[in-house]
Structure 1
Amino acid sequence: MDFSGAYEWPNLRFLLQGFWVTLQVAGLSIVFSFILGTLLGTLRYTRIPVLSQIVAVIVDTIRNLPLLLIIFFIHIVLPQLGIKMPAFWSTVVGLSLFEGAMIAEIVRSGLKSVERGQVEAARSSGLSYMQTLSAIIMPQALRRMSPPMVSQFISLLKDTSLAIIISLPELMRNVQILGGQSFDYIIPALLLAAVLYFIINYSLSIVARRLEARMN
């Protein structure tokens, strides 16, 4: 092991650049998956004839597929159909679809957890269904779904490492490249990667625990 060589500034900067790509992918995927998951989860909850059934099939299909397969399909199969994306956006789209399906179930469960009596009281007071959903149900559901949603975002951040398979220059890909330069760099690079992942994920886990504590 050569810690001094592995942590020379050019190598350290190379790893941090990969970590920055990881954070960019995770950040965009969190935003897109939250929007998609909230939309799909709400559509399933509203039980609109036909539409909610179609959404249920889509969500259940995506949730039961490996994330790696989805990323492969987007990056390798779609170009054969004329839809080409760089590795960065292939990863973002794949993560957003997969995590969006997971979040959709969290959102649906959160909406269903709101007591039926409150919904009936809001409707009887003259509020429309959409007003009841946005003003009564959704605010309460968001509080309840926040802890599991943050936990899902932690999984999303860790799943960005799967992009190594399509050569996205994220943290683990750069660790692999640095390890290829010298076998003595592998363990120091992996240790640094572990520390960086731990700092971000542990910070998010603290947020999840605090949100859960507020609910109790």
Structure 2
Amino acid sequence: MNFSGAFSWINIRFLLDGLWVTVQVSVFSIIFSMILGGILGTIRYSGIPYLSKIVGLIVDIIRNLPLLLIIFFTYFALPQIGIAFNIFWAAVAALTIFESAMLSEIFRAGLNAVPDGQTEAGMSSGLTYFQTLTIIIFPQALKSMLPAILSQLISLIKDTSLAVIISLPELLHNARIIYGENTNYVVPMFLAMTAMYFVICYLLSLASGYLEKRNYNY
């Protein structure tokens, strides 16, 4: 196995190009799924008649579907009804849909963990329900939710590799092209991918552990 040839600058740059796509997809998916997941979780927590149950049903359906199926659906099925995405945005949309459902449960659990007396205190002081939620309830819930949110986002970053099935030029896709041209590069490419994924996910894991420890101390 020619490791030195596998780690030529051309190959490393090609891998870094794939890593950059992975990072971009992850960042957009994180932003959108945090927003959508927060909205869905808040709706379920608020117990809005009919709407909460509908949202709950949708969330339960999505959470019990394979992410790979959702990726296929966004890229191949949605164009059939006039909603077409390119490969990049199809991956972002699929990850956002799936992760929003997961995050909504984290948000709902975090909000439910705040004592009911906090809501009653806010309402009795003259705040509206929305003000009570945003000023009093959500900041308290966020402290307990952060470690779980970060853990879910770590999973999201690893899940981007599933988009290789629609030929998204992310890290795994580019590595496959390299070792597809030279089978002697299979092991070096897997080592390189392992290192890149590990660095990103381990740093987030450290952040998650730090936040969990900090919240416990408080």
TM-score past 0.5 threshold: yes
Paired residue type of 2:29 = S
User: Within the alignment, does 1:97 sit opposite 2:104 as a pair?
Assistant: no
Equivalent positions of 1:28-177 (< 5 A) are 28-177=28-177
**TM-score normalised to structure 2 length:** 0.97
CA distance in 2, matches of 1:92, 1:121: 40
Q: What secondary structure sits across from 1:101 in the alignment? A: helix
Letter in 2 for 1:108: R
Moved beyond 4 Å, runs of 4+: none
Partner Cα separation in structure 2 for residue 117 and residue 174 of structure 1: 54
Counterpart of 2:188 in structure 1 is 188
Amino acid at match of 2:183: F
CA-atom RMSD, angstroms? 0.8
Distance 2:136 2:129 in 1: 10
1:124-179 Cα deviation digits (max 9, x unpaired) = 22222111111110000111100000000000000000011111110001111111
Q: Structure 1: how far apart are the matches of 2:82 and 2:133?
A: 40
* Letter of the structure 1 residue corresponding to residue 184 of structure 2: D
What is the CA-CA distance between 1:207 and the residue it aligns to? 0.5
Residue type at the aligned position of 2:129? Y
Q: Distance in 1 between matches of 2:125 and 2:20?
A: 51
What's the CA shift string for 1:35-82, capped at 9, x where partnerless? 000000001111111111111111111111000000001111112222
Name the CA distance, whole Å, in 2 between partners of 1:172 and 1:142. Answer: 33
Output the amino acid matched with 2:40. Answer: L
Task: Confirm or deny that 1:16 pairs with 2:16.
Answer: yes
3-state SS in 2 of match to 1:49: coil
Superposed counterparts of 1:195-210, under 5 Å: 195-210=195-210
Q: Structure 2: how far apart are the matches of 1:99 and 1:71?
A: 12
- Map of 2:3 onto structure 1: 3
Name the CA distance, whole Å, in 2 between partners of 1:131 and 1:75: 39
Q: Percent identity?
A: 56
d(CA) in 1 for partners of 2:47, 2:207:
32
Find the aligned partners of 2:119 and 2:86 in 1 and give their Cα distance: 46
Give the whole-Å Cα distance in 1 for the aligned partners of 2:10 and 2:174: 12
- AA aligned to 1:161 is S
SS state at 1:83 partner: coil
Q: In structure 1, what is the Cα distance between the partners aligned to 2:129 and 2:168?
A: 45
Cα separation, 1, equivalents of 2:60 and 2:76: 23
**Number of equivalenced pairs:** 216
- TM-score normalised per structure 1: 0.98
**Structure 2 unaligned residues grouped into runs of 5+:** none
Letter in 1 for 2:25: V
- Structure 1 unaligned blocks of 5 or more: none
- Measure how far apart 1:186 and its partner are: 1.0
SS of 1:85's equivalent in the other structure is coil
